[in-house]
Structure 1
């Protein structure tokens, strides 16, 4: 018997996997008080000081309006700071000392999530999957 089309759908599989991965990371990060999306944003800004809104949206593969909503709690918590850049029509972001401390506190929890995923699917398979997703996203 042939599987139903939704079981063959790459999008359905990817979205289900993304939800599962987010739950794993969020569970590990919950004691630090941030989620995986917030940690990713903080890490990108930490490693790219002065990152512009457009570049951050591109790197996060997010619409700018969605990114603005994701940034708001990080700004309110004092983890990131923003300033007008260039002609004053765009924002650039920097991480604060508190934000850097949050990233450092989250690192062992993130590593535990990484280990859990590698245990579930195998290190080589997890790395291959990550690389394939990066390649697909960069070619879009």
Structure 2
């Protein structure tokens, strides 16, 4: 294969892996009524407490538009809500509701089973090394170099 082939595309490989793993976790989480993206949003709010949409998008490494689409059903279903900002009273912060905490607690064993299954299938220490590598990818400064055409 030539280096210009899509088979060498890092982005494509990461996105394919993400879709594959997301489908696996979604199947495990299905009895809870949550998808892995929704579970992750609720879990971050539980861990960090109320966050602005900008802060939550930074924590999740997710663009605001995508995050907005994902939080709509969570707010509609009463799993999360908004409160006045603690630091800036003009801002709104997203928070986990009691119902959201209950749903997250219900989903946790399904997520834990999926995580254990992935780790067993992928192998150890590769599972831990993969998470470390993916965290490094999300914190790597990627700069777009503009060239004149």
Residues matched between the structures, number:
138
Instruction: Give the gaps of 5 or more residues in structure 2.
Output: 142-149
Instruction: Give the gaps of 5 or more residues in structure 1.
Output: none
Higher gyration radius (CA): 2
Q: Do the aligned partners of residues 15 and 70 (structure 1) sit closer, same or farther apart at CA in structure 2, a change above 3 Å counting?
A: same
Distance in 2, matches of 1:123 and 1:25, equals 19
Q: Do the aligned partners of residues 36 and 14 (structure 1) sit closer, same or farther apart at CA in structure 2, a change above 3 Å counting?
A: same
CA deviation vs aligned residue, 1:9-48 (integer Å, no higher than 9, x gap): 2111111100000001000000100100000000111111
Deviation at 1:6, TM superposition (A): 2.1
Q: Does 1:122 align with 2:123?
A: yes
Match of 1:70 in 2: 70
Match of 1:109 in 2: 110
- Summarize the alignment of residues 2-13 of structure 1 with structure 2, pairs less than 5 Å apart: 2=1, 5-13=5-13
TM-score (ref. length: structure 1): 0.91
> Which structure has greater helix proportion?
1
For residue 81 of structure 2, give the secondary structure of its aligned residue in structure 1: strand
Match of 1:34 in 2: 34
For residue 34 of structure 1, give the secondary structure of its aligned residue in structure 2: coil
